Structure 1
Amino acid sequence: MSEINLLAIGKLAAKKFLDDKVPRLGAALAYYTVFALAPLVIVAVGVAGLVVSEEALQGEIVAQIDQTVGEDAAVFIQDMVANSQKGGAGWGVVIGFALALVGASALVIQLKGALNVVWDVPVQATKGLANALRARGTALVALLGIGALLIAVQFGTAWVSGLDNVLSDDLGFLDPLLQLLTPVITLGLTALVFAAMFRFLPDTAVGWREAGAGGIVAAAAYTIGSWALGFYIGNGGVGSTFGASATLVVLLVFIYYSAQIVLFGAEFARVYGQARPAPSAATVTAGETQPSRPEPDGTHRSPLPAVGAFLAGLVIGWWRQRD
């Protein structure tokens, strides 16, 4: 696709961004994210703690927040997580972890709804307890998948950094290459996370090509935007007029604008998919079109048994490790 077409797609995406009232959707996402921050960190640390040290991973997450938003926000989130984990013992730990999953899944449901707006999916009322549980179970599966990809981003970045330290003495001439490789790998893995979100969360068929295009745009914009927002927040005195609430205000500002960036990437993916030429009749006859995702009609198999089995194994493994 030519540069002119990509520019046209960007303009159409910006128009659709405003038509869909995405700034309002981003505000709702920011609200849900603030309340889901502690559950998200607890779930991520709990899952990854089966493989690596929980303390080390939690410290790495807090360090990343410190670098992006600032020390006060990092300490604020660390205190939220610590307060959420206080007083847990025995079944209390299991119940607390389950509640953290439910709280974090609420954010995924809200994100799913925002992406449905972007992809013009008709709103369908959720009727009955079974459908509500199915929606929550699907959100849990999506949450765990996104969490696994985010952890992969951290591991990939840490692996390249560690490789840089190991090779710096013997193969110093590779140091510039490895320093360049670190942001490239981080950008690629971040694009993969966004592409997976755009591919699987909306209740409609989204091809990997359009999801990937949106993921690349979102990852590039997020990388640049997070640096710019961090610089602005650190030097612009955003929260200076809010007193004791300054840290929360800074977090809300950062999450709100980050949500706008991610949702613009989704709009780009949507417009990119519409701009692609439709398959010819011969292609349709040959059966080479992408399979469409079945619409949720309540007759497809529920993911709850798989979710229940996974969570049971997760809790048992976590419990054994803590003993």
Structure 2
Amino acid sequence: MNSPKNPILKQGYRLFIFLKNTYLAWDRNDPFAKSAIIAYYTLFSLPSLLMIVTSIASAFVGPEAVQGRIHDEIARFISPEVAIAIEQMIGKVTVENDNWITLIISIAALIYGATGVFFQMKKTMNTIWNVTEKKSNFKRMLINRAIAFGMVLVLGFMLLVAFVITVLLNLLTDYLSQFAPSITVVFADALRFLISFLFIASLFAAIFKILPDVKMGYKTTVLGASITAILFLIGESILGYYFASSNPASVYGGAASIVLILLWVNYTCLILFFGAEITVQYAIAKKHKIVPNSHAKLAHTEEMEALRKKQKQVEADKKKAIKLATNPEESNTP
């Protein structure tokens, strides 16, 4: 199909081709299996992850306020039952301090559990960007865990900033409501949506910038994170309506909260990976060179090396076959 000459149709055609290539690349990377893997790791990482994030923010604003904010956000995105279940999870995660050896082991286990989801997400991001690590050893594993823990700290800092902004917004709306109550409600809703968008877009930008082993420009990162945040907010609205209307976890009884967490993380990861694929396709469309960092290389380089080895082996086998066909008596020599 040729590109239309009309400027508007031409832009629409380019957008169609762009989205088509994005979807095909997204589907080729098997996002459903990878989302299911991350949902599984999230289930086990969630208590440790939320405890560390809560501890970081609680050092400044108090644990009750932070836990209340987390409860409200989870209740808004998933369900109140899941929010209560997660609060109970956080309460049961403890760090033993009987002696220094037990304390070190407890903290190490806590960090290892909290970083699991970002560790797996890093692997998926590398697959999407078509890069692979040069070496996989214990030292590199520790570095990857440190990077994942960095994402946990970023999440805790962002939660603190979002909490402070929300408090300031509430104070502002309370003051303005004295003069124009009806206008203040609309203003507050719009501002809350903007804050949610900025928070989510910043989180995605941090994921795109920190986790993959590539050198990515800030313009590409911000654009990809913004598009992903829009998709996320649209998707979460649809998921919220779906969970509220159809109650997909009702058949699971006491395990309903766990099922809802898995479903929510699974669907969210599908959106995240599609947003990451949009970022990759945008970089390709704009002819931005994808440069791996010092610890990685392009995946097709590894594939080319394997192909060259296979080609050499085929040539060697071919020469051997020709030699045996020319001198058949050699094959019967003991």
Instruction: Call closer, same or farther: CA 1:218–1:278 in 2, change over 3 Å.
Output: closer
Please name the residue that 1:265 is paired with. 275
CA offsets 1:151-202 (integer angstroms, 9 cap, x no match): 4334434432332123211354444233212202211221121012112210
1:86-101 superposed matches below 5 A? 96-101=106-111
Please name the residue that 2:91 is paired with. 82
Give the AA of the match of 1:65.
I
| Distance (whole Å) between structure 2 residues aligned to residue 93 and residue 161 of structure 1 | 40
Give the AA of the match of 2:119.
I
Instruction: State which structure, 1 or 2, has the greater radius of gyration over its C-alpha atoms.
Output: 2
Please name the residue that 1:27 is paired with. 36
CA offsets 1:195-217 (integer angstroms, 9 cap, x no match): 12112210011222222222112
Please name the residue that 1:303 is paired with. none
1:227, distance to aligned residue in structure 2 (A)? 1.9
Give the AA of the match of 2:228.
A
Please name the residue that 2:300 is paired with. none
| Distance (whole Å) between structure 1 residues aligned to residue 207 and residue 95 of structure 2 | 32
TM-score scaled by length of structure 2: 0.77
| Distance (whole Å) between structure 1 residues aligned to residue 216 and residue 28 of structure 2 | 21
Give the AA of the match of 1:294.
N
**After alignment, is 236-245 or 34-43 more displaced?**
236-245
Please name the residue that 2:54 is paired with. 45
Give the AA of the match of 1:120.
N
Q: 1:232 aligns with which of 236, 242, 254?
A: 242
Please name the residue that 1:56 is paired with. 65
Give the AA of the match of 2:168.
W
Q: 1:181 aligns with which of 163, 176, 191?
A: 191
Please name the residue that 2:210 is paired with. 200
The number of residue pairs the alignment matches comes to 285
Give the AA of the match of 1:229.
L
| Distance (whole Å) between structure 2 residues aligned to residue 152 and residue 4 of structure 1 | 41
Give the CA RMSD over aligned residues: 2.5
Please name the residue that 1:321 is paired with. none
Instruction: Call closer, same or farther: CA 1:231–1:131 in 2, change over 3 Å.
Output: same
The gaps in structure 2 that reach 5 residues or longer are: 1-9, 297-334
The percentage of aligned residue pairs carrying the same residue is 25
Instruction: Call closer, same or farther: CA 1:3–1:194 in 2, change over 3 Å.
Output: farther
Instruction: Call closer, same or farther: CA 1:29–1:199 in 2, change over 3 Å.
Output: same
**2:208 paired with 1:212:** no
CA offsets 1:127-167 (integer angstroms, 9 cap, x no match): 2x333222222222232123323443344344323321232
TM-score scaled by length of structure 1: 0.80
1:97, distance to aligned residue in structure 2 (A)? 4.3
1:64, distance to aligned residue in structure 2 (A)? 1.2
The gaps in structure 1 that reach 5 residues or longer are: 280-289, 298-323
Instruction: Call closer, same or farther: CA 1:274–1:154 in 2, change over 3 Å.
Output: farther
1:1-323 superposed matches below 5 A? 2=11, 4-85=13-94, 96-127=106-137, 129-172=138-181, 173-277=183-287, 294-296=293-295
| Distance (whole Å) between structure 1 residues aligned to residue 118 and residue 52 of structure 2 | 13
Instruction: Call closer, same or farther: CA 1:234–1:268 in 2, change over 3 Å.
Output: same
